[in-house]
A and B are shown apart, each in its own frame.
Chain A
Amino acid sequence: MSKTERDAAGAPAAKARKARTGKAQAAKEPVVEIPAEETPVAGGPVAAALVAESPLAQGPGVPAVREEADGPQGGRLAVRKTYKLYIGGAFPRSESGRSYVVTSSTGGFLANASKASRKDARDAVSAARKAFAGWSGATPYNRGQILYRIAEMLESRRAQFAAELAEAGTGRAGEAVDAAIDRLVWYAGWSDKIAAVAGSANPVAGPYFNISAPEPTGVVAVVAPDDPLLGLVSVVAPVIVTGNTCVVIASERAPLPSITLAEVLATSDLPGGVVNILTGSVKEVAPWLAAHMDVNAIDLTGVADEDVAVACEQAAAENLKRVLRPSAPDWSADPGTRRMTAFLETKTVWHPTGV
C-alpha cells in the first residue's frame, strides 16, 4: 500500500489549463493593446515611451486604456464557448483534462474540443446503464413525444446550426439542418409503431397464443459518422426511439455541432444519460467501448480505419454484442427501419389459450 504513483493525467491537465489561459489571453488582446503607440506624442518614440511609463502622464493626449476597451466604442470581449463532453445530462470536461484543436474546413481555428479518455467512456457507459431502466420503461408514446420535442428545439436553433455546419464545411447547411429535423420527426413517429412491424402474433400448432415483441437491447455504443448533424441524428434517433440508451463518439473532425446538439438534448425533456456524447479520438476510445462488458451493442458507422473496425468487431465478440457496420450510408436517402431493428431483441411468449 505504501506505493503510490502520481496520476499520469497530471501533466496533460496542466497543459489543458495552459491552453485555456492562452485562449483567454487571445480573447483579451484588444484590451492589452497600448494606445500610446497610436497616439502622437511630441518628441518621437523615446519620449512616447517615457510618457507611457510616467504615472503623471495621464494627459489628454494619452487616453485611459481600460475605459476605452470597456466602453462601447472599443467592442466587447469575445465570450467563447467551452466545448465539453455530455455525460449523464451534465457537461463535464474530460477527466483527463485534454483537449484538441478543431479547425474549419479551410484550416482556420474554430475551438478547442475536449478529448475524451477511456475513463470518460466508462463514466458515460455507467450513466447510460443508469438511465436505461427509466428510458426503456417509458411508454413508446412518451419517447416519441420527447423525440419530437428534440426536433422542436432543433428547429428553434436552426440558424445557429446552419452557421456551425457552414463553418465545419457542410455545403448547403440550411438544407442539412432541415433534413436532420425532419429525420427526428420521422423517427419520433416510429416509437409506437415499430412493435407492430418488428413484432408478430405467431400461428402455432397448439393451444397457445404465441407472441413476439421487440425489446430494446440495452446500452449501445455509437461511433457517429463525419456528417456532423444529419449523420449524427440519423444514428442516434433510431437507437433511442426504441428504448435503448447510448454512448456516442462524435465525429472527430467536426465535433462542435454534436456538442451544440447536446445542448438541444439537455433542454428537450430527454432524461440525463439516455444520450451521452464524447468528443475525441475514435481510434483511442472506440476499442474500450467495444470491449466494455456492460455495453450490449455497437454501431461502427463512423469508424473509417479498417483495422480499428476489425479490432472493435473482435472485441465486441467477447460478450456477444450486436454489431452494426454498414458500408458508406447515404444520409439523404430514406433510412428505412433497419437501424431501429438492428438494436432490438425479440422476446417470444407462449401463453395458454383460455377455455
Chain B
Amino acid sequence: MAASNATLRAFLHGLPGVDRVGADQRAAMLGTRSIKTTAKAGAIDLAIRMVDLTTLEGADTPGKVRAMCAKAVHPDPSDPSVPKVAAVCVYPDLVAQAVEALGNSGVKVASVATAFPSGRSSLEIKVADTELAVAAGADEIDMVIDRGAFLSGDYVKVFEEIAAIKAACGPAHLKVILETGELATYDNVRRASWLAMMAGGDFIKTSTGKVQPAATPSVTLIMLEAVRDFLATTGRKVGVKPAGGIRTTKDAIKMLVLVNETAGEGWLDPDWFRLGASTLLNDLLMQRQKLSTGRYAGSDYFTLD
C-alpha cells in the first residue's frame, strides 16, 4: 500500500470523511459528564500517572531539568501517596541529565527530535537528532511529521520519514506528532493518524504545544477513533497523546471520558494514553489536596513550573 504515492493517496482519501459538526458536538457532549467524589479521586490519580511532564523552552537549563525530574518522581513531596508521572519530556541535548536525575525511579525519559517543533530539516539531520537522543538514553522519541509534505499531498515522503525514524529509534517508543493545529481539517487529522500508524508509530500525538489550537477535545476524539479502528483492522494497538492546552483537572478528566467512551477502557492506562503538559500537574495536585483535606488548595504551596 505504501509502495507509491498513488496507492497511499487512494487509501487515505478513501477513509470516511469526518462530520465536523458531529465530532464537535460529540466531544462537547462527552465534556459535560460530571465526575465526582471517589470517581474523581480515581481519575485524578490516573491522570497524574499519565502525565508527560514537559519542558521545551529555549531557556531550559540542566538545573531546571533536574528540578522537574525530582517533581516527576515525587509530585507532591508532602504526600507520598501521590503516584509518579509517566515520563518527562525534554529536548535531546538534555536527555542525559534527565536520565541521570531519574535513575531507576521508573519514570521514563521522552525526547522530542527531528528538528522539533517545525520539522523543517533534511532526513539525515532528523535521523541524527533521533540517534543522539536514543544514545543519551531516551526511552521514547516524540517526532514531528513534515506538515509541508503532508499538506502538499506527498504522503510517501511523510511515510518514509516516519519509517526511517522508527528504524533509528531501535528499542525506544516512537510518538508521532501530527501538529493538528496546522492540518486545517478534521479529515486531514484522520488521514495523518492512519498514515502515522501504518508507518510504524507507537503513539500518535496531537501537537507540539507551540501552535494554537493544540489538543482540542474534537481532535483527540478523532485520533481515538483512528486508533480504535486501526486495532480492529490490523490487530496492532497504538497509543494517543494529546498535548498542549490541557491546563486544568477538568480538561484532563474530559480527556479520560473521551478515551473511555471512544477507544474503550483498554486505553485507560499510561502505556496507551498520555497527557503532554507542564502546568496541568499542579492543578491535578491542588484538586487532589482539595479532595483529601476538604479545603481549597493554594498555588503558594506547590512548586513553580
Contacts and interface: CB of A to CB of B under 8 A. Distances in A.
B46 A1 contact: yes
A288 B296 contact: yes
Interface of B: 33-39, 42-43, 46, 256-257, 260, 265, 268, 294-301
A294 B299 contact: yes
Contacts of B35: 1, 3-5
Given A4-B39, A5-B36, A292 B298 contact: yes
- Which secondary structure dominates where chain B touches chain A? helix
A66 interface: no
Nearest to B34: A7
Contacts of A318: 295
Contact of A294 (B37, B38, B46, B298): B298
A59 B298 CA distance: 72
Contacts, number: 54
Contacts of A291: 294-296
The residue in A4, A293, A315, A318 that gathers the most chain B C-beta atoms within 10 A of its C-beta is: A293
A129 B298 CA distance: 10
A315 to B, nearest CB: 7
A1 B34 contact: no
Nearest to B253: A1
Give the size range of A's interface with the partner: 10 to 19
A296 to B, nearest CB: 9
A9 to B, nearest CB: 9
Contacts of A122: 296
B268 A1 contact: yes
Contacts of B42: 1
Nearest to B295: A291
B8 to A, nearest CB: 36
Interface in A20-64: none
B34 A294 contact: no
Interface in A306-326: 315, 318-319
Given A6-B34, A7-B34, A1 B298 contact: no
Nearest to A218: B300
A353 interface: no
A2 interface: yes
